[in-house]
Structure 1
Amino acid sequence: MESNTNSSQEIDLSYLSKKTGHLFDKIGYSIYRFIKFLIKNIWILLVLLIVGGVIGYLLDNRAEKLYKHEVIVIPNFSSNSYLYNSIQNLEYKNSKIVKAQVEPIIDIYQFIQERYQNLEIAKYMSENNIQLDKFNDKNAVEKLYRYHLMTIYTKGEDSKGQTIDSLLNTLNADPYYLSRQSIEQQNLNLSISEIEKSIESVNAILNKIGQSSSTAGDLNIEMYSELNNLINSKKSLVEDRNKAKVFQLEQSKIIYDSSKVLNIKESSTPKMILLPIVLFVLFLGANLILILSKKYKNKTSQNS
C-alpha cells in the first residue's frame, strides 16, 4: 500500500514537472517569436518612433504649461455655500483659468474645540452615519469647517498672482455679504470693546488688592478667596480678546485668503515620450489583429 502511494506521488511529480517544462517552453517560444517580429519590422518601428518623437516634441513646445495654485480660504458670514456654488459654476471663457475646485480642510479637533455645541453636532452626525472626516457633496460637511482649500489651474504661469487675485476680488464683491460684513464687524468691534473694559475692571480690582497688601503687610490669601478666580477670569478674557482680534482680521474679507502657494508646475508625461509609445502599441495591436484574423479564417475554411 505504501509503495503504491509513493509511486502515485512520483507520477504526479513527474507529470507536474513535464507540464511546468512545457509552459516554460511556450513562454520562451513566444518571447523568441516576439523578438523575431521586432527584428523583422525594425525599420517600420524606428520610423514610427522617430515620427512620434518629433510630433510629440512639437506638441510639447506649442502647448501651454499647466500651473496649479493652492489658496487656503476662510468663508465668513456663513458664506460657505456661496463659495462652493461660485466655484462649481465658474465660467472659464476669456480666462487663464481652466479648472477650479474647493474642499474643506478636515480638522475634527479644531471643529470640536471651537465651541461646546460642536461636540453635540459631531455626536449627532456620527449616530446618523454622516462622516465628519470625509467630504461628500450630499452631506454638506463643508459648512462645518472654517478652513478650505481652493485649487485653481491656469494655462501658463500667473507670475504676479493677478488671475488668482481677480477671482478672489470677484468672490468678495457680493452685495449681500458686503452688507452682512458691515453689520457683523460692528458687532465684533463692540464685543472687543466690552472685553477690553472687563479686562480693565479686573486689572483695577487686582491693583486695589496689591495696594492693600502693601499697606497691610503680607497678603492673606484667605482674605481674598476670589483672587484665583479673578486671575483665571483675566486669562479667559485675554484669550477671548485674542480670538476676537483674529476674527477681526479674518473678517476683513468675505472670503479671506489666509495663505497662497502659486505657480506649482503640473508634471505630466511629455508627448515626446507618450506619442511614440502609443504608435508602437497601435502597430503591435494592428499586427495582432491581422494574425488572429488569418488564423481563424484558416480554421473556418478548414471546417467548411
Structure 2
Amino acid sequence: MSVQKENNPENPEIDLLTVFSRIGDFFEWINTSLFRIIRFFVKNAIVVAVLIVIGIGIGKYLDSAQKTYVNKITVTPNFKSTDYLYAKIDFLASKIKLQDTVFLKSIGIQNPLQIASISVAPILNVNDLVNKEDKEFQLLQLMKENESLNTIVKDTTLRKYYNFHSIKINANGIIVQKNTIDPILNFLNTSVYYEAFKKINSQNIQNNIKEKEATILQIDRILNKFSSANTSQSGNEKLIYYNENLNLDKIIKTKDSLCGEIDKLKIEQYNTGKTIREQGMVLNIKSNKIFKWKLIFILPLVFVGLFVFFSFFISFYKKQSLKANANLK
C-alpha cells in the first residue's frame, strides 16, 4: 500500500520558513568559511609574507636572467611564391611549437630549443598594390568606398602582391647566422618545382642578355665603320651623308638603352637567383616584452597557493585520523 505525502495547503508558511532557513544556513556557511580563510592568513601572515617576498625576488631574478632577442629578415618571394613562403613558415612554426628537435636539426639548425617562435608578415606598401597590372585591382577603388584603405592593405588575400616580407624570429639567446638563419633560408629555398622554375628563368634572362649584347656588337661595327670612313674622308660632305642616312644619334641612343636593359637584366638575374631572396637582416635585437616581469606575479601566487594547499591537506588528514582513531576505540 503506497503512502502519500501529506500536503498542508492551509500552512504554506512552513515551506517558506524552510527555504529561508536553508538560505540562512548557506550564508552562515559562507561567513564561517570566509572567517576561517581570513583567520588562516592572519595566523600565517608571516609565512605568507615571506613566501611573497621570496616569490617576487626569484621572479625578478629569473625575468632579468631570461634574455630574449628578436631577429628580422627581409625577403622577396620570386616566381609568385608568396603563398609557398607563408606555408613553409607556418610549417616551421608548428615544428618549433612542438619542439621537434629531430626535424629542426635535420635541416641544419644547431640549437633548435633556442628559437621561441617564427612568423612572417608583409611589409605594407600601398604602391605595391597600385602599380600592379591585375584585374583584381580594378576593384580597389570600389572597395575603398566601403572599407578603409588600411583594412584593405592588411587583407591577407593581398599579401602576395607585396614585394617585401619580414620574417620575425624570437629567440631565447643570441643567434648565430651560420647556425640558425642560413639553415632556415636554405629550407625555404628547397623546392623541386621552384628550383626548376629558377633555372628556366635564369636561362631566359641569359639568352636575352646575349641577344642584346649581339645587337650592341653590330652597333659597334657600324660606329667603327663610320669612324674609319670619317678619318679617311676629311670633307664635311661625308659626315653629313652618314648623319642623314645612318641616323647616328638614334643608333647611339639605342646602344645606351640596350646597355641599360642589360644592367637591369643582370640585377634581375641576381635577385631571382633564389626562390626566396633575402634582402637584408637585423639580428639579436634585445627585447623587453616577451615574458618580461610575468614571473614576479606568477611565482608569489604559486608559492602561496602551494602553502595553502598543503596546510589544508595536513589539517584534513589530521581530522580524518582523529575520526578513524575514535571509531577504532
* Distance (whole Å) between structure 2 residues aligned to residue 104 and residue 150 of structure 1: 9
Note the residue ranges of structure 2 that are not aligned, 5 or more in a row.
1-45, 102-111, 302-329
- Aligned pairs for 1:255-274 within 5 A: 255-268=276-289, 270-271=292-293
Distance 1:44-1:237 versus aligned 2 partners, 3 A rule: farther
Structure 2 length normalisation: TM-score? 0.59
Contact 1:161–1:262 (CA under 8 A) maintained in structure 2: no
Partner of 2:179: 162
Q: Deviations over 1:171-210 (max 9, x none)?
A: 1111111122222221121111112112222222233333
1:73 aligned partner: 75
1:158: how far off? 0.9
Q: Which moved more, 1:221-230 or 1:75-84?
A: 221-230
* Distance apart, 1:145 and its partner CA: 3.0
Distance 1:106 1:200, change over 3 A: farther
Cα distance in 2 for partners of 1:226, 1:105 equals 47
Q: Does 1:136 align with 2:155?
A: yes
Q: CA deviation at 1:82?
A: 0.4
Q: Does 1:87 align with 2:89?
A: yes
Q: Deviations over 1:209-229 (max 9, x none)?
A: 333344344543852573332
Alignment length, in residue pairs?
232
Amino acid of the structure 1 residue aligned with 2:84:
Y
The alpha-carbon distance between structure 1 residues 122 and 272, as it changes in their structure 2 partners (threshold 3 A), is closer
Counterpart contact for 2:117–2:169, Cα < 8 Å: yes
Q: Tell me the distance in 2 between the aligned counterparts of 1:147 and 1:78.
A: 12
Question: What is aligned with 1:102?
Answer: 120
Equivalent position to 1:232, from 242, 248, 253 = 253
Q: 1:102 to 1:207 in 2, by over 3 A?
A: farther
SS at match of 1:89: helix
Secondary structure of the residue aligned to 1:77 is: coil
Q: Is the 8 A contact 2:57 2:296 kept in 1?
A: no
Change beyond 3 A, Cα 1:81–1:190: same
CA 1:180–1:209 in 2, change beyond 3 Å: closer, same or farther?
Answer: same
Matches of 1:53 and 1:127, distance apart in 2 = 56
1:275 to 2:275 alignment: no
Which stretch shifts more, 220-229 or 201-210? 220-229
Partner Cα separation in structure 1 for residue 215 and residue 89 of structure 2: 43
Aligned to 1:242: 263
Question: Match of 2:118, as an amino acid?
Answer: A
Amino acid at match of 1:259: G
Structure number with larger C-alpha Rg: 2
Contact 1:103 1:135 in 2 (8 A): no
Distance 1:107 1:199 in 2: 38
Q: Note if contact 1:67-1:155 (Cα within 8 Å) is conserved in structure 2.
A: yes
